[in-house]
Structure 1
Amino acid sequence: MRRIAGIVLAVLLIGGVVAAVVAGRGEGDTSTATKTVRAVIGSEKAEFFADPDVVKALAAKGYTVRAETSGSWAMEGLDLAGYDLALPSSRAPALGLAAKYGVRGELPRPFYSPLVVVAHENAAEVLAAGGLARLDAPRRGTLDMARYLDAAREDRTWQQLRGAAKYPELTGTLYLSSTDPETSNSGALYLAAASYVANGGRVVASRAEVDRTAPLLRKLVSVQGAQQSGSDAVFRDFVSGAGNPLVVVYESQVAALLAGGERPDDLVVLYPDTTVTSDHTAVPLTAGGRAVAALLSTDPRLRELEVRYGFRPQGAPTAFASATAYLRTELTGIHQAAVPTSPVLHELARRARGQGGERT
């Protein structure tokens, strides 16, 4: 599968299992001594930091990054004493971490990636036939979020969609698989996008709006059963052919797969017509962490490597270019939904997981 330089350690911390990724010196690296920076990162960035070219680029600037992965929202429950940098997958959990650890000033946002839905070809074909999606290239299309949410409200099954009869493997309730919204950023952002559409194209902000959208969000989550705590595992399951035929992931994960030389015959990428962009946001906890965050934002070589892994560098909209039919170079026509505040998004996640409605 995709390039993995090394997953060498698993440690049990508060909130779940955190896997450590070596992002130190690779074989043949003859650079001089470097300063070690300990970082906790979202799992979708593990392969980027483990890439030997990334290791070399950081070492050339005097740094070795030892990264451990965690669900972005689960980072709030970790003890980050002794760490230099936290790099969750969006701004909301980063702001929570900054407040917790007294980090002041603007937080660096080196790159971003929109949420997409990966689909097996048969599923994409049936969604298009049923009016829930539009295919604009052999391996790419757009998901109509409003129509999908209507189908979710009605508990629609695959068998009720036109064209599904010739695919006996498409059975049961139609739904998107996502990660646990209480621990994982991609799962939380999926709820943010869905709640925005369900709320009439407005960000959910009040208790009344939470109450109004929570029943639908509960349906979106409860139909999935057990959920993974990180998007990397969900995406790997999909690529291996396991699980649900529709999965919410980051665009960057698809780009990294393609960059590794894989071209799955039955992969179709659907861009929700209303989606949320994941702003990967750095929380520097020490001077070393601030230095690495700055390098990720400004160093030309590191920005080239970010694009290789499908991350769209901030301030350089033309830097991201896809040579494949799976991905869109431009996001024209894709509406970017606003994300609720951290307390509201936490409450939406709680309600979606069936944990009552006494708080906002």
Structure 2
Amino acid sequence: MSGDTLREEQAIRRTTDHLVQVFAGTHSAEHVESVMQAAYRRFDGLPVRDFVPVMVERIARGELTARVEAPAPTESAPTEAAPTEPAPAKAGVMARMPSRKVLLPIGLGVAVVVVAAVVVVNLGKPEAPPPTPPLTVVRGVIGSEKKAFFEDPQVVRAFADKGVKVEIESAGSRQIATSVDLSRFDFAFPSSAPAGEFIQRKRKVSTKYTPFSSPMAIATFQPIADLLTKAGVVKQGPVPTFNIGRYLELVTTDTKWDQLTGNSDYRVDKNVLISTTDPRTSNSAAMYLAITSYVANGSKVVHGATAEKNVLPLVTQLFTSQGYTDNTSEGPFNEYLTVGMGPSPMVWIYEAQFVDAVTRGQIKPGMVLMYPSPTVMSKHTLVPLNASGDRVGRLLSTDSQLQRLAAEHGFRSADAADFAKVAADHQVSVATDLIDVVDIPSYDTLEHLLDSVGKSYG
């Protein structure tokens, strides 16, 4: 089953559960499920699937609303009245009046029957819903790690309920800040505060929204985690932590995997390195640089030309030793999910990517989530470029349904309980208390370092 099919069926199941609650007083759960499945089958074979769950819900809701139980029929009068004794005639004029039958003109009788029939037919039909007002289309450019969230049918429906249709394009967060033509969009939504800050300065925008965040993490495999535990890099616990200082020692000594003591699972002649994205385009690579430069600078945030010069050789080596790197975090993480530990035993990711993959059933046994120590929080920052973009920023930050859906995609939203519930429901081990979190260098310092690393690629 493909990821898209799985996500569609999960949306159908969630919608079914919702309608069971809505119609609990009028329809049984079995009946609601039957109506939903019948509506779902109407779309079998349809090649475009993006809005199938939304359309299925509309069809099922309409049918369930229309099927109101009719009142029990009353007993009809007999066709022929039983003979009765004639009432005694009253004295006087009434006694002398002949009995008559009251007849309606034929035309009037037919009219009455037609009107009655029309009334009965109309009562049997559901009232036509009022016309749906057109949705306001709002266009945004986003970091690729949020693509699954915006394409979720439930998110699409939640925005539609507020009269909004969000159309998105994805790009690396540094690309969004530096090279994407933002005049084509209503909002920009990179994955970090520094990128958002630069867009604000460039576009002279004072407003920003940070509807959710995600700490940086490392996706690996159990044999690799066990091997690095023996090497003193990984510390086991409720969640494994990855010591950046000890890791940098292995990098500076050009340690290879097959040189690690007790290595019987990954005996390859390659340097011990974390796979990242391209530092010239991607925010996740910039976050990797922020953490490693902090540790290389004696556990201090890099600031000033001297500090930049001192850490530059090491952080450059971390990137150039990898070979090819992808523009966005979507690429290396998808390779991690599908290929295994052969090419990339450790992948630098957002925590949200791993949690989202768990909820979608993509994590296989033996896949492990580790937290770097120290780490940084990547604050997904939305910069509105006009009133429509501001509307999306406010909805993402204040609408409880959108906040809950963000948590279901692995993001830490304003309500910590939403994220905790998702992690508990899907039995994914996450760091509940993030203590060892460091600050990110200023945008200008980060740009100086990234530009210098970029030049080393030739």
TM-score category of the 2 structures, normalised to the smaller one: 0.7 to 0.9
| Structure number having the greater helix percentage | 2
Please say which of residues 112-121 and 339-348 is displaced more in the overlay: 339-348
Matches within 5 A, 1:1-360: 2-3=3-4, 26-28=54-56, 32-75=133-176, 76-105=178-207, 107-137=208-238, 140-164=239-263, 166-241=264-339, 243-314=343-414, 316-321=415-420, 322-323=423-424, 324=426, 326-333=428-435, 335-355=436-456
* Residue in 2 that maps onto 1:18: none
Task: Give the aligned residue type for 2:187.
Answer: L
Q: Deviations over 1:126-176 (max 9, x none)?
A: 001111001225xx4110111011111111111221221x12454411000
Provide the C-alpha distance between the structure 2 equivalents of 1:255 and 1:88, rounded to a whole number of angstroms. Answer: 20
- Residues 258, 267 of structure 2: 8 Å contact kept: no
**SS of match in other structure, 2:220:** strand
Q: Deviations over 1:102-136 (max 9, x none)?
A: 2124x110000000001122111100111100122
Task: Give the aligned residue type for 1:241.
Answer: V
- Residues 24, 55 of structure 1: 8 Å contact kept: no
Superposition deviation, residue 202 in structure 1: 1.0
Provide the C-alpha distance between the structure 1 equivalents of 2:427 and 2:261, rounded to a whole number of angstroms. Answer: 26
Task: Give the aligned residue type for 2:161.
Answer: A
Task: Give the aligned residue type for 1:151.
Answer: L
Distance of aligned partners of 1:258 and 1:77 in 2 relative to their CA distance in 1, 3 Å threshold: same
Superposition deviation, residue 354 in structure 1: 4.2
Task: Give the aligned residue type for 1:173.
Answer: N
Provide the C-alpha distance between the structure 1 equivalents of 2:339 and 2:171, rounded to a whole number of angstroms. Answer: 24
Distance of aligned partners of 1:337 and 1:2 in 2 relative to their CA distance in 1, 3 Å threshold: farther
Superposition deviation, residue 326 in structure 1: 4.1
Distance of aligned partners of 1:2 and 1:144 in 2 relative to their CA distance in 1, 3 Å threshold: farther
Task: Give the aligned residue type for 1:319.
Answer: D
Q: Deviations over 1:184-210 (max 9, x none)?
A: 000011000110111111111111000
Please say which of residues 258-267 and 84-93 is displaced more in the overlay: 258-267
Provide the C-alpha distance between the structure 2 equivalents of 1:156 and 1:126, rounded to a whole number of angstroms. Answer: 13
Provide the C-alpha distance between the structure 2 equivalents of 1:205 and 1:23, rounded to a whole number of angstroms. Answer: 49
Task: Give the aligned residue type for 2:257.
Answer: W
Normalised by the length of structure 1, the TM-score is 0.88
- Residues 257, 266 of structure 2: 8 Å contact kept: no
Provide the C-alpha distance between the structure 2 equivalents of 1:115 and 1:332, rounded to a whole number of angstroms. Answer: 11
Provide the C-alpha distance between the structure 2 equivalents of 1:336 and 1:63, rounded to a whole number of angstroms. Answer: 36
**SS of match in other structure, 2:154:** helix
Provide the C-alpha distance between the structure 2 equivalents of 1:340 and 1:233, rounded to a whole number of angstroms. Answer: 26
Provide the C-alpha distance between the structure 2 equivalents of 1:168 and 1:245, rounded to a whole number of angstroms. Answer: 9
**SS of match in other structure, 1:172:** coil
Provide the C-alpha distance between the structure 1 equivalents of 2:230 and 2:450, rounded to a whole number of angstroms. Answer: 32
- Residues 213, 379 of structure 2: 8 Å contact kept: yes
| Number of residue-to-residue matches in the alignment | 335
Superposition deviation, residue 349 in structure 1: 1.4
**SS of match in other structure, 2:199:** helix
5+ residue gaps, structure 1, are: 7-21
Provide the C-alpha distance between the structure 1 equivalents of 2:212 and 2:146, rounded to a whole number of angstroms. Answer: 11
Distance of aligned partners of 1:157 and 1:184 in 2 relative to their CA distance in 1, 3 Å threshold: same
**SS of match in other structure, 2:419:** coil
Provide the C-alpha distance between the structure 2 equivalents of 1:288 and 1:66, rounded to a whole number of angstroms. Answer: 12
- Residues 217, 348 of structure 2: 8 Å contact kept: yes
Please say which of residues 339-348 and 221-230 is displaced more in the overlay: 339-348
**SS of match in other structure, 1:38:** strand
Superposition deviation, residue 34 in structure 1: 1.0
Q: Which of 1 and 2 has greater Rg?
A: 2
Task: Give the aligned residue type for 2:246.
Answer: R
**SS of match in other structure, 1:40:** strand
Which protein has greater RCO, CA pairs closer than 8 Å, 6+ apart?
Answer: 1
Normalised by the length of structure 2, the TM-score is 0.70
Provide the C-alpha distance between the structure 2 equivalents of 1:32 and 1:336, rounded to a whole number of angstroms. Answer: 46
Q: Name segments (4+ residues, structure 1) moved above 6 Å.
A: 22-25
- Residues 336, 347 of structure 2: 8 Å contact kept: yes
| Structure number having the greater strand percentage | 1
- Percent identity of paired positions between Structure 1 and Structure 2: 33
- Residues 54, 302 of structure 1: 8 Å contact kept: yes
Distance of aligned partners of 1:67 and 1:38 in 2 relative to their CA distance in 1, 3 Å threshold: same
RMSD, aligned α-carbons: 2.1
Task: Give the aligned residue type for 2:217.
Answer: V
Provide the C-alpha distance between the structure 1 equivalents of 2:165 and 2:438, rounded to a whole number of angstroms. Answer: 36
Provide the C-alpha distance between the structure 1 equivalents of 2:359 and 2:427, rounded to a whole number of angstroms. Answer: 13
